[in-house]
Amino acid sequence: MILAILQARMSSTRLPGKVLMPLVRQPMIVRQIERVARARRIDKIVVATSDRPEDDAIEAAVRREGIAVFRGSLDNVQQRFIGALDAHPADHVVRLTADCPLADPSLIDATIDLCLAEGADYANNTPKGRAHPKGTDIEVMTAAALRRAAAEATTKEAFEHVTWDLWNQPDRWKVAWLACEPDQGAVRWTVDRPDDYAFVAAVYDALYPKDRAFTSDDVRAFVKSRPDLADYGGDRRV
């Protein structure tokens, strides 16, 4: 059983409410869930949001799409993940964040496959110097590793970043990395600022009406055809 947990909140400091901003007439989080749901190796998706009143809107938006929701601490995201795992037991957990509407289902599957094939406690697709684009980040871990890390966590970083101890202490865990050649770590597809949202909205407006299952290669080809988007906002977009 492989459970994808998508963490989301309305209180983003740089772009508040971003997860519900529209992309082709639907909230951004709904568009991301559409893409994540195409991953063949994921058995279930649950959105983990906070128990604060401002996040009621997130629960309402995703429940309309038939997606499960777990609500817990705003600040201790790690315990929110444990609560979601308790409510939806699984063997492996895929950690995703709700600011990645260009999530790549094929990369999700490849990272899961790597974790399983290597018998790893933890795997991701952003190794230093060989990373996939920001906004296609995936973390996969065994439920046992997540539970152990949470039980031993004592720092603010661990509580906030969930997998902090897993990737910062490779001597304690069996870790696997899905490398990208050449490195694409400087390419920015995440949504954290207004210019990020404008870039992603342009991608969706161009590609989604033609093919709802557009790929990362389709994004690259589109951006290459639009020189005005290649370094939009001062960051590499392709």
Domain ranges of the chain: 2-192
β-bridge partners, 93: 3, 141
Work out the average pLDDT over 83-95.
Answer: 98
Q: How far apart are CA 157 and CA 155, in angstroms?
A: 5
For 193-215, the pLDDT digits (tens) are: 999 999 999 999 999 999 999 99
Contacts of 89 (CB under 8 A, 6+ apart): 1, 143
For 132-183, the pLDDT digits (tens) are: 999 999 999 999 999 999 999 999 999 999 999 998 888 999 999 999 999 9
Q: Residue written as tokens 């809107």?
A: 57
Cβ neighbourhood burial of 153 (10 Å; 0-12, 13-18, 19+):
middle
Work out the average pLDDT over 127-136.
Answer: 97
| CATH fold of 2-192 | Spore Coat Polysaccharide Biosynthesis Protein SpsA; Chain A (3.90.550)
For 5-56, the pLDDT digits (tens) are: 999 999 988 999 999 999 999 999 999 999 999 999 999 999 999 999 999 9
Q: How far apart are CA 83 and CA 110, in angstroms?
A: 26
pLDDT at 5: 98
